[in-house]
Copies of this chain bind each other. A is one copy, B any other.
């Protein structure tokens, strides 16, 4: 089956909805919407539409649905699995929500805010801060990532450990359905058991069930003090023990437990200007711990310090540095957040975003290294990530001296092998980043048929003509009639 072609007459009607200035047809205007930041996915579109209101989004979808035109919703274009990029075929319209960036309301006392989908995560954090509150989601891309995309992908980041991912912070949604009807589900209530959880169905659906236009978000009290440390560890097993002690001691105050291999640090120090190793000598593994406290008076520092002393006495850490200032804490985080970018300096990188039960992380690292060596001898694993969530970005840099393009040609083989291992360990092949285009075919291989059928039944119920982000998450297919 083919999605209908966008005729000139229809193009004019779409442009009339948003106004000429916001219907982009020239190549130079479209460029930024058609390519994702690592150049892994490139697409084409007859027009990029930039609606300025929910009503305009509604009219666009009603028209698209009537004429069976594919719509690719796009927010900040920071997605990592190509979900926001249209197909090269060029028959899908890109619908950018970036102009929907108002704050609709803030209830500082009640700890909730309602913002539109095009607001960046940084802006949302600032709104919360201005209200004396905290919006704790934190991503490296937060200056560009927008709330609509963050919710559509159920983004995670570095603060999930104690605070949770995007799903944990969303109380309600306003979204436009495939046929243009608007679901007014903005609710700021903490407790509401009146029907099916439509909100959580849309969150993480990657634009395939509806276009999120606004969200009611939860804000938390701001911690009074935050203590941060980087420690050196012998092994992943030691990291696991350290994590358990940290969790037991600090409970919900433990707001981050990140982890990485020596090689990640080497690449960062070598390729990212201004980045330095905070410890004196080389160690095989590292962790970054953060404790946040509602108390003033040095409690967070004292608690983290005591934790590290206990861990040291127990032989779990070899060395450590407790941030003595906010700048030093920022440097620690800057180092951690540089690892992905730093890998570029070492050539091609085959990336995985996986999770396994936390207790099995050491086992995974050992078995994955063997898998990598088998697929490509000399390839260099650079594991780093959110240890406390069981989520590692298991990125594999090419062997030194190998031709980059040749190495990247092994992506399919290596991913298959790693994903097979992860699935055999009851893990997830996409812990944070979603499915998009990248993992669509993997999904049918690693999910049960029953689950795929349930998803398809929902997709057919919400979008019978299959116009919302076709070919993302699930194969594009007309439902049986």
Interface residues, chain A, with chain B CB atoms under 8 Å away: 107, 109-112, 153-154, 156, 160, 162, 165, 167-168, 177, 181-185, 187-198, 200-201, 203-205, 209, 220-221, 223, 240, 244, 247-253, 294-295, 303, 355-359, 386, 389-391, 426-435, 439, 443, 446-448, 450-451, 453-455, 457-458, 460-462, 473
Closest B residue to A182 using CB positions: B450
Contact between A195 and B435 (Cβ–Cβ < 8 Å)? yes
Contact between A473 and B204 (Cβ–Cβ < 8 Å)? no
By CB atoms of chain B within 10 A, which of A162, A165, A294, A460 has the most? A294
Contact between A187 and B473 (Cβ–Cβ < 8 Å)? no
Supposing A182-B450, A358-B110 touch, asked if A195 and B455 sit within 8 A by C-beta, the answer is yes
| Set B190, B221, B247, B430: member contacting A193, Cβ < 8 A | B430
| Minimum Cβ distance to chain B for residue A26 (Å) | 35
Residues on B with C-beta less than 8 A from A110 are 357-359
| Minimum Cβ distance to chain B for residue A415 (Å) | 14
| Minimum Cβ distance to chain B for residue A300 (Å) | 12
Residues on B with C-beta less than 8 A from A447 are 194-195
| Set B109, B112, B191, B429: member contacting A194, Cβ < 8 A | B429
Residues on B with C-beta less than 8 A from A196 are 201, 204-205, 209, 454-455, 458, 473
Contact between B251 and A184 (Cβ–Cβ < 8 Å)? no
Once the chains are docked, how many angstroms separate the CA of A209 from the CA of B458?
12
Supposing A182-B450, A450-B183 touch, asked if A197 and B192 sit within 8 A by C-beta, the answer is no
Once the chains are docked, how many angstroms separate the CA of A421 from the CA of B165?
34
| Minimum Cβ distance to chain B for residue A216 (Å) | 10
